[in-house]
């Protein structure tokens, strides 16, 4: 059996706008529920003389951690004909923010639920902001409870116009779908109650989202772990050791090492305890010997001259999650680790900060406190090599070390022009 493609989707929205109902509908209408589960819960409602709600489905599944549908209280599986989805119901959970910013898990898309009757709320804006901070660009805004506004096109258009404008201000675009989670309109099948709506269902919209290409199809990147010297037939040679993060490498490829910019050609690709081949790919730990004996050291990143190169600069625009008890402050030296590179780093500027516990945003703070997510500028003592996280996550992530402990982590959004800020 071939493993099916899967995609992580985070769902957000103001409380009571209908997240659980929409998820319950998706599970039921895609036949992703365990056999008999829907009937069992409907029956339980009948016995207790209370009306059935799709939101109960989710609660019941969470309680039971049932049969592979829920992984834990915040993650639920369902599948479409196209792929499997894991819905992460966790905005505002510190753990979610931490995992996202440090790359421990990645949501590739988001559903943002807005109640058509109540309209855009402060939390709708906070959640949108959170998505932009986390770099999630594939978003469906689910305008829910259309049944409560008589499926009014005008109401939908007003919500859409207001929220579109807000998203544009924070650099996001979204697909909007008018739905009733309760009635199942436009969730998995198109509704005949909104003939004015020409777009796709929620399910079709997320099925249309793109997966990141597999690591092997990206440019070659191998952070250098170690360099060993040895002598072969009287020649001094070097072994360059590392784990390939993305792409592939073959004998005869011309490599460049960054930040030094030194070049050499691959003479052999060596492995430990496996049959020798002339090629290696993402995920493999290898050693390379080179034709021209150049001096490279731990921390450099090997790339191929034939492919796009990593960025090299000492100023980075990043999104950072801070775990330290003491805030990250300007004028103090920390250590940054990117790939196998370690370098001294300072907080140069704080652009905006979001408090992880209530998602409240601020543009006036100049430090990053415990559990904050911040967009900021870091400057390193010497230039380092890296990629943008949205292109190559493995070499676009970093951690910040203070006092020998990891206190923060994040993703690199942009390399900025070098300026001499270190004295």
List contacts with ligand GDP (CB under 6 A).
Answer: 13, 15-21, 53, 55, 144-145, 147-148, 180-182
Question: How big is the CA angle at 218 (ends 241 and 296), to the nearest 5 degrees?
Answer: 30
Q: Which of 176, 147, 175 is nearest to 159 (CA)?
A: 176
Which residue's CB is nearer to ligand GDP, number 192 or number 405? Answer: 192
Report the nearest approach of ligand GDP to the CB of residue 198 (Å).
21
Instruction: Reduce the DSSP state of residue 379 to 3 states and report it.
Output: strand
CB of 187 to ligand GDP, least distance (A): 9
Query: Least distance to ligand GDP from the beta carbon of 31, Å?
Result: 20
The residues, ordered by sequence, that sit 6+ positions from 25 with a Cβ below 8 Å of its Cβ are: 54, 181, 184, 187, 188
Cβ proximity to ligand GDP: between 13 and 247 the closer is: 13
Which CB, 70 or 246, lies closer to ligand GDP?
Answer: 70
- Minimal distance in Å, beta carbon 182 to ligand GDP? 3
Q: Which residues have C-beta within 8 Å of that of residue 286, sequence separation ≥ 6?
A: 222, 241, 242, 243, 244, 249, 269, 270, 271, 280
Q: Which helix (H) or strand (E) holds 31?
A: none
Strand pairing report for 341-355 and 334-338: antiparallel
Residue 79: CB minimum distance to ligand GDP, A: 21
Closer residue to ligand GDP (CB): 13 or 396: 13
> Least distance in Å: CB of 137 to ligand GDP?
23
- The widest CA-to-CA distance across the chain, in whole angstroms, is 88
Q: Give the span between the Cα atoms of 412 and 388, in whole angstroms.
A: 5
374, 291 Cβ separation under 8 angstroms: no
Least Å distance between CB 68 and ligand GDP? 22
Shortest distance, position 20 Cβ to ligand GDP, whole Å: 3
**Distance in Å, CB of 321 to ligand GDP, minimum:** 25
Residue corresponding to tokens 């360059």: 240
Query: Is 319:170 a contact under the CB 8 Å cutoff?
Result: no
* Residue with smaller CB distance to ligand GDP, 144 or 379: 144
C-alpha dist (Å) from residue 313 to 103, 279, 352: 22, 30, 22
- 214: which DSSP letter? P
Nearest to 243 by CA among 343, 106, 340: 340
103: left (phi over 0), alpha (psi -120 to 50) or beta: left
* Closer to ligand GDP by Cβ: residue 90 or 296: 90
Backbone phi, psi, residue 136, to 5°: -90, 120
Q: Any idea what the Cα angle at residue 371 is, between residues 87 and 376, rounded to 5°?
A: 100
Strands 285-290 and 235-243: antiparallel
Nearer to ligand GDP, 58 or 392 (CB): 58
Alpha-carbon dihedral sign for residues 242, 243, 246, 251: positive
Nearer to ligand GDP, 128 or 181 (CB): 181
Comparing CB distances to ligand GDP, the nearer of 59 and 284 is 59
């Amino acid at each position: 059996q071939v493993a099916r493609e899967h995609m992580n989707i985070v769902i957000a929205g103001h409380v009571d706008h209908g997240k659980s109902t929409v998820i319950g509908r998706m599970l039921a209408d895609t036949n992703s529920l365990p056999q008999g589960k829907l009937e069992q819960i409907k029956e339980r409602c009948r016995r207790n003389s209370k009306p059935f709600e799709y939101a109960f489905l989710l609660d019941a599944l969470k309680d039971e951690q049932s049969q592979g549908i829920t992984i834990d209280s915040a993650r639920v599986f369902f599948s479409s004909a196209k792929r499997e989805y894991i819905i992460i119901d966790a905005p505002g959970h510190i753990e979610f923010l931490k995992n996202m910013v440090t790359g421990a898990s990645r949501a590739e898309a988001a559903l943002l639920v807005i109640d058509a009757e109540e309209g855009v709320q402060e939390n709708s804006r906070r959640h949108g902001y959170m998505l932009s901070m986390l770099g999630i660009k594939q978003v469906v805004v689910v305008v829910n409870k259309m049944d409560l506004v008589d499926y009014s096109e005008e109401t939908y258009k007003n919500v859409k116009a207001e929220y579109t404008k807000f998203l544009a201000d924070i650099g996001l675009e979204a697909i909007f779908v008018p739905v009733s989670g309760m009635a199942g309109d436009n969730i998995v099948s198109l509704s005949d109650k909104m003939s004015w709506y020409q777009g796709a269902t929620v399910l079709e919209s997320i099925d249309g989202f793109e997966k990141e290409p597999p690591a092997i199809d990206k440019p070659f990147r191998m952070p250098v772990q170690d360099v060993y010297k040895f002598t072969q037939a009287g020649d001094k040679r070097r072994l360059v050791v590392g784990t390939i993060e993305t792409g592939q490498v073959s004998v005869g490829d011309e490599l460049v090492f960054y930040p030094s910019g030194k070049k050499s050609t691959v003479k052999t690709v060596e492995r430990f305890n496996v049959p020798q081949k002339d090629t290696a790919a993402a995920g493999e730990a290898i050693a390379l010997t080179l034709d021209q004996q150049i001096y490279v050291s731990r921390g450099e990143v090997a790339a191929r001259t034939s492919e796009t190169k990593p960025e090299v600069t000492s100023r980075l625009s990043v999104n950072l999650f801070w775990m330290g008890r003491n805030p990250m402050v300007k004028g103090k030296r920390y250590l940054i680790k990117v790939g196998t590179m370690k370098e001294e780093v300072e907080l140069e500027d704080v652009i905006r900060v979001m408090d992880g516990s209530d998602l409240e945003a601020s543009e006036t703070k100049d430090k990053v406190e415990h559990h904050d997510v911040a967009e900021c500028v870091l400057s390193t003592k010497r230039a380092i090599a890296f990629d943008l996280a949205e292109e190559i996550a493995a070499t676009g992530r970093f951690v910040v070390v203070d006092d020998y402990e990891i206190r923060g982590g994040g993703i690199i959004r942009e390399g900025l022009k070098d300026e001499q800020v270190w004295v």
